[in-house]
Structure 1
């Protein structure tokens, strides 16, 4: 008689029950992966089998449920991948358990003291993705203050405002600043001191606004700048203030041209009044005087007053030949004093054209959307230098308002906590509301996860069967993302395990019954003596 088949069955089912018991025992272990026993029959060149044996114990790496813990250092992998740890001996191990603790030195470790690994920072403080994974550490150093270098604001300036009308006035250091709209923001100097900054906007021309900047109650006209919009209300350019003389020259030259034209019109009217009444010789002389420029068209001159007086006399009485002589005498005297009117008009028009061109070129010089501003420091910090970017600003017929405002400066801050993003980036949060990365947790995948070797403490080691590790950032390739404030529960199905335990128990009992039967048969054979 042979007891080997039954014994093999007992041994195999015993291992089956042991596996089931281990699964049930770890049903509440975070990140635990249950195992299944595979059996195979045994033949040794015999027609009857020699029983069974355990051919393999395979791990089930299906995902467990993700449960929220509301603890920021509890992590779960949503998808494929393993956390990469360095154990206390310096060996790399892998786990699906992301329950971390921060030690006093900033190391992030699990309950066994294994330090989680990922990508560190480069010299610029940025995550070095793709580099060699290293144990991650969260530095507790304070964040140094950073001076503001760039400020961006998007605003609308009310196009319905009229030049020099409906102005408000602010007094700054004895200087009165008139404006149509003002907005303020805070920038920081090199010591992290806040500098309250106000920009006053005044409409000074067609589609032109002038801005005056005040920092902590200090006004420096060198920081004034202008904004130019097109007819569609879009910002065209920003630049230094255009010299007021550029605008004044256009007005004065236009006034000069208008004066010449007005007086020439008066002289033409004089010709119309005198010509029908004058003898032919006088009419011809008057026309010749008009043609060769021997007349004085300069408005405001002494000769003009004389001519106007004579004209008034001619209009009030019947002119005589002496009156005509007086007119021509006055005209001749005016010509000797100021030159020809036609030449003067041409010269004034040339100067007006030049003034208009200078104004056009000055306005066209307002390009770009950024203006550099500088303020002297009074508290030992470096001078405040920053660029104000106004890209996207408009001039529409709506109330003036700011829709966006950002700046890149900040005061110093102390570490108040950390958060971990879905891509595994560990962010250090500071008291000044700034955040900086401390590194990025890496995930690892294997071609054959079932080939990993269990090492206890809910970790595995790589083996020849599992293949080499494939390291990457969470959320890339086949790797899942990281869920902060949650853990992955065991994937053990308790109901299934209990059913499997009943089946294994019955199989164990059946094998023991085979031994009992074999024993009875053996006892019968012995009793044959």
Structure 2
């Protein structure tokens, strides 16, 4: 009996050494969660045994319990390095479309050749599909999709509208619009430019020139050019000569645009002629030549202050190239592109478990759900009991090297003591065998 007791002690001490050695080996493994060997005494008896004199039968390993307390955060320069500050796990899948999920705290993600965000082992990071405002459409692990970051943003969109807000200086010297020449700054009062796009995404510079009319009170003429070529305003004012058809802007005594006067065209909005061969002849690259641009003054005034453009925008775009990826504390992933657009790609899926220690380890600092852990509870980062996501950071191993070395010494001493007990038992038996 004593041999078996000593052997069980050796087995337990060996298990303690194994667990401690594994913790030490992974002290620099990102997202690693250390384990603790837990033991229970072995006691066997029957209804006929004397409990007062019964001796235990040794020790057994009851469980190797994982410890899911927070590891330290190490900050990096990679926006795809993610750490969870608090409870929860990232959700991954081995293949696109798989419903078999694995869970990890190791956030060293990277892009594969197809633009998907994966672990070093190639598992796909899962996200919730989101609405335009960034809120998840549904919080369910069965509805998650792999996170993909496109290198380019959408297809080109031709400019159809330009919005402007500005002030035209009331005290400017009035000029004769018939003398307007875009190459001579003395023939116009002010100018402003905006980049617009055709249907193929090619950019063009559209410049608007403003001339305070000396032949009419509180009246301005606006002439438009694209790529230094004149663009007529549909039904616009024509001063004569080589000056293109322009828009007429009439202001009242309060310095506001007067929409009641019978001007031609209607002061707001203003529409250009077609930009292709059927009109201005500017678009010659095969793009849609019927494109026109509506110029809408959100706010235009004539005050006794300097010329000032307070807003200038257009609704077209070219193909954008990826310039930046932002991941918020709530897991929302947004990609910014060179054409100025920002696309919300998804919200990183999070999961938690009723009993995290019951998760089944599958290697590569990943786990799967089990009967002991309970079903995964889906959620969004930084809500409820789910921790927030820290971008450009990695969670270090939660194994403390100093504590593990102390545990190693303890396990070694325990092993030596059980070895000594085994040796004493052997000596006693040898003594008995030598009795004559």
Normalising TM by the smaller chain, what interval?
0.7 to 0.9
How far apart are the structure 2 equivalents of 1:440 and 1:225? 50
> What pairs up with 1:213-362 in 2 under 5 angstroms?
213-216=223-226, 217-220=230-233, 222=236, 224=247, 226=249, 242-243=261-262
Tell whether the 8 Å contact from 2:128 to 2:347 is kept in structure 1 after alignment.
yes
Per-residue CA deviations over 1:253-300 (Å, capped at 9, x if unaligned) read xxxxxxxxxxxxxxxxxxxxxxxxxxxxxxxxxxxxxxxxxxxxxxxx
Tell whether the 8 Å contact from 1:199 to 1:211 is kept in structure 2 after alignment.
no
> What pairs up with 1:32-111 in 2 under 5 angstroms?
32-45=32-45, 46=51, 47-87=54-94, 90=98, 91-111=100-120
Which residue is 1:271 aligned to? none
How far apart are the structure 2 equivalents of 1:227 and 1:474? 55
> What pairs up with 1:455-466 in 2 under 5 angstroms?
455-466=362-373
TM-score, length-scaled by structure 2: 0.76
Counterparts in 2 of 1:182 and 1:504: CA distance versus 1, 3 Å: same
TM-score, length-scaled by structure 1: 0.64
How far apart are the structure 2 equivalents of 1:518 and 1:397? 108
Per-residue CA deviations over 1:35-56 (Å, capped at 9, x if unaligned) read 1122222322444332322222
Tell whether the 8 Å contact from 1:10 to 1:508 is kept in structure 2 after alignment.
yes
Counterparts in 2 of 1:218 and 1:32: CA distance versus 1, 3 Å: same
Tell whether the 8 Å contact from 1:225 to 1:371 is kept in structure 2 after alignment.
no
Which residue is 2:292 aligned to? 384
Tell whether the 8 Å contact from 2:176 to 2:213 is kept in structure 1 after alignment.
no
Q: CA deviation at 1:495?
A: 0.8
1:515 to 417, 422, 427: 422
Tell whether the 8 Å contact from 1:229 to 1:394 is kept in structure 2 after alignment.
no
Tell whether the 8 Å contact from 2:73 to 2:395 is kept in structure 1 after alignment.
yes
Please tell me whether Structure 1 or Structure 2 has the larger radius of gyration of its CA atoms.
1
Structure with the higher fraction of residues in helix conformation: 1
How far apart are the structure 2 equivalents of 1:432 and 1:498? 55
SS at match of 2:272: strand
Q: CA deviation at 1:494?
A: 0.7
Counterparts in 2 of 1:437 and 1:523: CA distance versus 1, 3 Å: same
Q: Quick check: 1:170 aligned with 2:180?
A: yes
How many residues align structurally? 398
Q: CA deviation at 1:108?
A: 2.7
> What pairs up with 1:99-138 in 2 under 5 angstroms?
99-120=108-129, 129-130=137-138, 132-138=143-149
Q: CA deviation at 1:208?
A: 6.1
Counterparts in 2 of 1:41 and 1:126: CA distance versus 1, 3 Å: closer
Which residue is 1:419 aligned to? 325
Q: CA deviation at 1:438?
A: 4.1
How far apart are the structure 2 equivalents of 1:83 and 1:448? 16
Structure with the higher fraction of residues in strand conformation: 2
Counterparts in 2 of 1:110 and 1:408: CA distance versus 1, 3 Å: same
Tell whether the 8 Å contact from 1:76 to 1:483 is kept in structure 2 after alignment.
yes
Counterparts in 2 of 1:468 and 1:386: CA distance versus 1, 3 Å: farther
Tell whether the 8 Å contact from 2:349 to 2:380 is kept in structure 1 after alignment.
yes
Tell whether the 8 Å contact from 1:426 to 1:438 is kept in structure 2 after alignment.
yes
Counterparts in 2 of 1:227 and 1:148: CA distance versus 1, 3 Å: farther
Counterparts in 2 of 1:406 and 1:141: CA distance versus 1, 3 Å: closer
How far apart are the structure 2 equivalents of 1:113 and 1:472? 23
Per-residue CA deviations over 1:278-333 (Å, capped at 9, x if unaligned) read xxxxxxxxxxxxxxxxxxxxxxxxxxxxxxxxxxxxxxxxxxxxxxxxxxxxxxxx
How far apart are the structure 1 equivalents of 2:316 and 2:263? 35
Tell whether the 8 Å contact from 2:213 to 2:221 is kept in structure 1 after alignment.
no
How far apart are the structure 2 equivalents of 1:64 and 1:211? 68
Q: Quick check: 1:194 aligned with 2:210?
A: no
